[in-house]
Amino acid sequence: MTFTETWRGEAINWECDELGHLNMRHYITKAQQARQMFIMQLGLSHAFKKGTPGAVRVREFHIKYIREAMPGAPLHIESAITSLGEKDLALIHIMYHQDGSIAATIHEALEHFYMPTHRSFAWPERLREQATLYMSELPEAARPRGIPDIEMQGANYETVKNWGCSEIGRGVFQRSEVGSSDTVCAQHMLGHISESIRHFDTAFPEKIGTGPITGVLLELKFRFHTFPEAGDPFVIASGIMGVTDKVRRLVHHIVNPITGMPYASAIAINGLIDLEKRRLVVPSKINNEKLTNEIITNLHP
C-alpha cells in the first residue's frame, strides 16, 4: 500500500477566477484538507484541533499545474510519503480529474512542532509505524519541470529594494487567513501573490487582463522563512529571474515592511494562455526582448 485517498470534492464556482479555472490558492486549500486527513490517519488525530500542544505545518511546497480544473469539475486527491525524518516528512498529493487524468501535483515538506515554543520535535513512534504503509517514490509527473534546483534563501526588505524588485502587493494578514498553527496558511500567501500579479507590469508586457491572451501560472515552489500571524503587515516584491522563448521565471518575496524581515519567497514559472482556445501561446519576440532587458541578474528566491 502506498497512495491513499485523502480528499474528494469538486472545483466550486466561487473558487474559480477570471481565467475560468480553479484559482491557484484553492489547489493548496484542498491539499491542506488532504494533508490533515493523512496526518490524522497516521495517528495524530488532534494535530489540527484548537489547544493541541503538538501540531504540523508546511515549511515548503512545490506545485505543478497539469490540466486545468473548471467550475464543477469532480476532483479527488491521493497522497503518500516521499521521505520521513526525525521531525519532518515530505508528502506528495496528486489531484485527479474524474477521468483519471492529473489536474495538479503538490509536493510539500512538513514540520512537527510544539505550539507553545514553535520548535520542532520528533514524531511519535505510532506515526513512524503507520508511515511505512504509505511510502512512495516521487512520481515522474510531480518532478519539477522549470524550477531550478536552488536553495530558497529569502531576502529582507532592504535587499529586495536594492535589487530593484517591483512592489506588486501590500496589505495586512487577517484572522481569517490563520490556520490551526496560529499562523497564516500557505494558500493565503499564494492568494496574495495571485491577486497582485497584474501590478507586475514589467513581467507581462502583453498587458494581461485586456484581451483573450493573459498570464498563467504553470509551476511554483514556495518556502516559509518565518511564519506571519494575523495583524502582520506585508509587501510582495517581485522580479524577473530568467526568460525562455516560451516562459518567464519570476521570483516573489513576501516581507514585513516595518521590520524588514522575510516571511516567504517563491519562484514561479509563468506563461501565456489564450482564454478562447484554452491553449498556451508563445510570446512574441519583441516582448521576450523586453522581458530579457528586465532580468535582475543577482536575484534569488
Give 246: exposed, middle or buried? Use CB within 10 Å, 0-12, 13-18, 19+.
middle
Express each pLDDT in 254-298 by its tens digit.
999 999 999 999 999 999 999 889 999 999 999 999 999 999 999
pLDDT of 208: 76
Express each pLDDT in 103-112 by its tens digit.
999 999 999 9
pLDDT of 260: 98
Question: Topology of 146-301 in CATH?
Answer: Thiol Ester Dehydrase; Chain A (3.10.129)
Secondary structure E strands in the chain: 4-10, 54-65, 74-84, 88-97, 102-114, 119-120, 166-172, 213-224, 233-243, 248-255, 262-274, 279-281
Residues of the chain with CATH 3.10.129.10: 1-143, 146-301
pLDDT of 211: 74
Residue 252 pLDDT > 90, yes or no?
yes
pLDDT of 50: 87
Residue 222 pLDDT > 70, yes or no?
yes
Express each pLDDT in 54-94 by its tens digit.
999 999 999 999 999 999 999 999 999 999 999 999 999 99
Residue 210 pLDDT > 70, yes or no?
no
Residue 209 corresponds to which cell in the numbers above? Answer: 487582463
What is the spatial distance between Cα 254 and Cα 191, in angstroms, rounded to a whole number?
12
This prediction's pTM: 0.95
Residue 1 pLDDT > 70, yes or no?
no
CATH number for the domain running over 1-143: 3.10.129.10
C-alpha to C-alpha distances, 6 to 73, 91, 163, 206, 249, nearest whole angstrom: 17, 12, 42, 40, 32
Quick check: 213 and 233 in contact, CB under 8 A?
A: no
**Closest by Cα among 58, 68, 25 to 192:** 25
